[in-house]
Amino acid sequence: MGKLPLEGLRIADFSWVWAGPYCTKLMADMGAEVIKIETAKRPDVTRMLPPWFPGPMPTSPNQSGYYNMLNRNKTSVTLDLTTAKGVEIAKKLVATSDVVVENFAADVMTKFGLNYDVLRRLKRDIVMISMPAYGSTGPDSHYISYGPAQVPLSGMSFLTGFKGGPPMHVGTSYGDPTAGLHACFAVMSALHYRKRTGHGQYIDLSQWETSIMVIPEGIMEYTMNGTQRPRMGNHDDKLAPHNIYRCEGDDDWVSIAVGTEEEWQALGKTMERPDLIADPRFSDQFSRWKNQDELDKIITEWTLKRDKWTAMNTLQAAGVAATITATNKDVVEDPNLNERGFMVEQDHPEVGKKKIFGLAWKMGKTPGAIRRPAPLQGQHTEYVLSEILKYSPEEIAQLKDEKVLF
Amino acid sequence: MADRALSDIKVIEFGNFIAGPYCTKLMADLGAEVIKIEEPIVGDEARHMGPFLGNIPHPERSGLFLFLNTNKKSITLNPKTATGKRIFLDLIKDADVLIENHRPSVMKELGLDYETLSRVNPNLIMTSISPFGQTGPYKDFKAYDLNVISIGGMPYINGGLFADSETTGVDLPPEGMPLKPAGHQAEFQGALNAAVATMMALWCRDSVGGQHIDISEQEAISSILETNIPFYSYLEVIRRRFDLPIVAPVHIIEAKDGHIYVLCIEEEQWKSFVEMMGSPDWANEEIFANRVARGMYADALIPVLKEYIEQHTVEELYHEAQDRGVPFAPVSTMADLLSSQHLNARGFFVDVHHPQAGKVRMAGAPWKLWATPWMIEFPAPLLGEHTEEIICGRLGYNRTDLAKMAEVGVV
C-alpha cells in the first residue's frame, strides 16, 4: 500500500446518516483519521436501517449494510453530548483535530456548545463545515429535512418523470452524496488555503443548494426564458433514439443512445433493418428526434428478442452506445467494477466477509484503500480517550459509569 | 485581488460538456486560474446545447455553458497540429492541474498521455474522467450519460407505471419501466469525484509529486446507490422499483396547486400530522398504527391522504407541517426555487453580466466560506477570448504568427 494522501489529518466527525458521512468517507478512504462521535442514546440512523445481516431484524447496532459500507476506515467514539463532561471531551478532541464536520439541523451544535465561535478559541486554525439541509442561515434554516426530501425540494423531481406524467423521485436520497462530495471539495479547498496562509475558517454549506447546482438545464431555461422544462422520461434534448428498452425476460432492460449518423447506421445494420437507415422518418438526427416514439417501438421489437447482455455486447461491438439497465446484483457482479477493484470484499467482525463498494477513483501514486471495516458502535472510545486525549484508565472507567461515554 | 482559497493554483481544462467543465468551475469559482482549451471554430459542445437565450441557438448564449464556465479563460487550440501540441506542452509546464474528459484512447493518440506530460512537468496532477475508466473490459465502450446511469444502477430502482404502454409499444411488467434522473447526473458525479480527488492529490503533492487520477463515471454512480448494494451483498435480495416502501408515507402527492412530498416517518411526527388533518377517524385504523404498518398498507393510506392534501396549496401544507415539526418538502418548480425567500435571503442566485448574453441569473455557490468567499470575477468566456492574452502575452508568440496560426487551424 502506497502512502495515503491524507495521512496525518484528523477529522472530528459529528455527522450522521449519509451526507456528512459520505464526505468523511472520502477522506477516511484516503488516509485521514476520521473519528466519528456517536451515541448509544441515539444511534446513527443508518445503523437502524435495513438491510441487516443476518436479519430479519437487528440484534446489535453493527449489522446494518448501509452503515457498514459508508463508514469503513473510520473510528467510533460514543459520547453523550447532552452531558457537560461529554461536551468537554468533544472539545478536547476538536482541539487536536484539523477539521470538524457536522450535518445536524442548524442550531444543534450551538445547543451543545460546540459552534464555530467556541471551537475556534480551542484551535484557531480549525476548519469547520456545517452542512444542514437548508444551510446555517436564512428564514427556513430551522426546518427539518430528511435525505429523500432533497430530491423534490431541489427541483429534480419536477424535472424527472415520464412525458405527460407527474413529477417523480429518483430512487435514492440523491442529494446526500451530492452534498457530501461538494462538502469534501470545500473542506479540501479550505485546507489548501490553510496550508498556504495558516488560516482556518467556517464553511456554511446548504445541501439544498448543492442539489440545485446539478440541474442547470432546468434552472437556466427558467432564468433566461421564463419557461419550465417539461419532463421527458428517458428522452434527451438532442440525441435520438435515446431510451431504455425492454429485453427478453421478466424485467430486463437495455439503454441505447445514438448521437451521430455513424452510430445510427451501425444500429440499423445491427438490427438488420437497412430499410430504416434511409427511411425519411429517421434519416437524420432531426427526423429521428421528432419521430422517436415510433422509433422506440421499432427498436423494442429487436430488443425484446434478446437478453440484455447480448443486446449490450452486440451493439457495443458495432459501435453503438448501449448498456444493460443494471440491477443491484448486476452492479455487485459487474465485470468492469470487479476487474478494476471497485467492488472489494471486506471482513467485518459481526457480519463477516461481504462485498462492498470501494473508491470511485484510482490515483496513480496514492491509491487509497479499504483498510478497516466500519467500526462497531463506540469501538475506539477507550483508544481515543487514552491514546489521543490522555485520560487515565480510572478516569475512563468513571466516565463510563456516569454514562458520559455512552 | 483578494487572496482566494485556490488563488495559487493553475488549471488547464481540456474537456467538453459537463464532466470536465463542472470540475474546473468549482476550482475557478474559488480563485484558481482555469484556462479552458476549446476546439477552434466549434468550441465546447455545451455551447451548442440549450437552453438558449430566447430559444435562439448561439454559441455565446447557451445557459448550460454560461453556468458551467464562470471565472474561466478560453483559448482555442488544436493540439493535433505539431504547433498546437507544442503550445499545449508549454501550458502544461506551468500548470498545477490538467482536467480532461476525453475517451481513454484520445490523450494517447494525441501524444498527450500522462507519461509524456509528466516528463514535461513532474508536478502535474492530471485527472482523467471517462465513462468506465482508463482500464478494464469496458474502457473502449461507447457511452452517453444515459448509458452510464443505466449500468450504474440508478434507473432500475426508479420509475413506474406512468409510462404509457401505447408510447413504449410494449407490455410493461407490473413494476412499470425504469426511469433516469433528470439532467446528466453521471457527468456531474464524475466532475465532483474529479474535483475532490484532484484536491487530495494537491494536498500530498509536496511529498509524492504529481500523479495521474483515473475517474470512472460508472464507479461514481455505483458508489451512491444507498442501500441497494448492501441489499444484494448482505442478503442476495434484488431491489426493485415497486418494492413496498419500508415505511410510509414517503410519497409525492398532488396538492391544490402543485405537488408536495409527504414525508412523515417518526411516530411523534405522524401524531402531529394527524392533528394537522383534523384528527380524521381513518387515522385510528389498525393498519395505520405505526410506520411499518403504514408502509405495508401504503396502497390504502395514500388515497386517503390525497383527499386531504388536494384541498390545500403546497405553501400552506409545507409551512404548516414544518411549523409542527413534520418534515414535508415542496416538489419545487423552477419558479419556486427562483422566488424562494430562503434561497434569496442567502444570496444563492446571482446575476452575471455577460458581454453577449446580457444579464443572466444563475445559481451561485452552494457554500459560504467565511474567510475566502466565493465570487464571480468574470462571466463565462467568449470562444477563444483569451487566446491572444495567453499565446502572445504569456507564451511570447507574436501577433502575426498568431494570425497565421488561426488561418491554418492551429488555434
Cβ contact (<8 Å) for A160 and B182? yes
Cβ contact (<8 Å) for B226 and A164? no
Mean of pLDDT over chain A:
96
Residue B228 with chain A: CB contacts under 8 Å:
172, 328, 331
CB of B123 within 8 Å of any CB in chain A?
no
Alpha carbon of A226: minimum distance to chain B alpha carbons (Å) = 8
The minimal CB distance from B153 to the residues A18, A263, A326 is found for A326
How far apart, in whole angstroms, are the C-alpha atoms of residue B232 and residue A332? 7
Sign of the torsion angle spanned by Cα atoms B33, B37, B40, B44: negative
Written as nine digits, the cell of A115 is 459552534
Residue B168 with chain A: CB contacts under 8 Å:
246, 296-297, 300
Q: Average of pLDDT values for A249-269?
A: 97
- The string over A297-308, giving b where at least 16 C-beta atoms fall within 10 Å of a residue's C-beta and e elsewhere, is ebbbebbbebeb
Please give the DSSP secondary-structure letter assigned to residue A384: I
% of chain A exceeding 70 in pLDDT: 100
> Tell me, what amino acid is at A11?
I
Residue B189 with chain A: CB contacts under 8 Å:
178, 181
Which of A251, A264, A338 should we substitute to test contact with B (largest number of B Cβ atoms within 10 Å)?
Answer: A251
**Which residues 131-170 of B are in CB contact (within 8 Å) with A?**
132-138, 141-144, 146-160, 162-164, 167-170
- Per-residue pLDDT reduced to its tens digit, A211-226: 999 999 999 999 999 9
How far apart, in whole angstroms, are the C-alpha atoms of residue B358 and residue B380? 12
Give pLDDT < 70 ranges for chain B: 1-2, 162-170
Q: Average of pLDDT values for A296-304?
A: 96
Residue A18 with chain B: CB contacts under 8 Å:
226
Alpha carbon of B388: minimum distance to chain A alpha carbons (Å) = 30
CB of A212 within 8 Å of any CB in chain B?
yes
Cβ contact (<8 Å) for A221 and B63? yes
Contact (CB, 8 A) for B104 and B123: no
Residue A166 with chain B: CB contacts under 8 Å:
162, 252, 254, 259
Cβ contact (<8 Å) for B338 and A164? no
Alpha carbon of A386: minimum distance to chain B alpha carbons (Å) = 29
- Per-residue pLDDT reduced to its tens digit, B18-75: 999 999 999 999 999 999 999 999 999 999 998 999 999 999 999 999 999 999 999 9
How far apart, in whole angstroms, are the C-alpha atoms of residue A186 and residue A19? 14
Cβ contact (<8 Å) for B366 and A217? no
The minimal CB distance from A192 to the residues B183, B202, B334 is found for B202
A321, pLDDT greater than 90: yes
Cβ contact (<8 Å) for B234 and A181? no
Encode A274-313 in three state secondary structure: HHHHHCCCCCCHHHHHHCHHHHHHHHHHHHCCCCHHHHHH
Q: Average of pLDDT values for A12-19?
A: 96
Alpha carbon of B402: minimum distance to chain A alpha carbons (Å) = 33
- Per-residue pLDDT reduced to its tens digit, A81-137: 999 999 999 999 999 999 999 999 888 999 999 999 999 999 999 999 999 999 999
Q: To which H or E segment does residue A20 belong?
A: helix A19-29
Q: How far apart are the first and last CA of chain A?
A: 35
User: What is the secondary structure of A80-149 as a DSSP string?
Assistant: -TTSHHHHHHHHHHHHT-SEEEE-S-TTHHHHHT-SHHHHHHHSTT-EEEE--TT-SSSTTTT----GGG
Q: Is A50 exposed, middle or buried (0-12, 13-18, 19+ CB in 10 A)?
A: buried
How far apart, in whole angstroms, are the C-alpha atoms of residue A27 and residue A11? 9
Considering all CA atoms of chain B, what is the largest pairwise distance in Å, rounded to the nearest integer? 85
A1, pLDDT greater than 80: no
Which of A29, A328, A338 should we substitute to test contact with B (largest number of B Cβ atoms within 10 Å)?
Answer: A328
- Per-residue pLDDT reduced to its tens digit, A326-346: 999 999 999 999 999 999 999
How far apart, in whole angstroms, are the C-alpha atoms of residue A240 and residue A296? 9
pLDDT at A382: 97
Written as nine digits, the cell of B114 is 500522462
Cβ contact (<8 Å) for B144 and A257? yes
The minimal CB distance from B203 to the residues A192, A300, A325 is found for A192
Please give the DSSP secondary-structure letter assigned to residue A52: B
pTM: 0.97
Q: For residue A342, what is the nearest residue in chain B, using CA coordinates?
A: B219
CB of A163 within 8 Å of any CB in chain B?
yes
Residues 6+ apart with CB under 8 A from B120: B89, B92, B93
**Which residues 32-61 of B are in CB contact (within 8 Å) with A?**
49-55
Cβ contact (<8 Å) for B211 and A363? yes
Catalytic pick among A98, A176, A252, A296: A176
> Rg of the Cα trace of chain A?
25
How far apart, in whole angstroms, are the C-alpha atoms of residue B334 and residue B347? 16
Alpha carbon of A247: minimum distance to chain B alpha carbons (Å) = 10
Give catalytic status of residue A176 as yes or no.
yes
Q: To which H or E segment does residue A354 belong?
A: strand A352-357
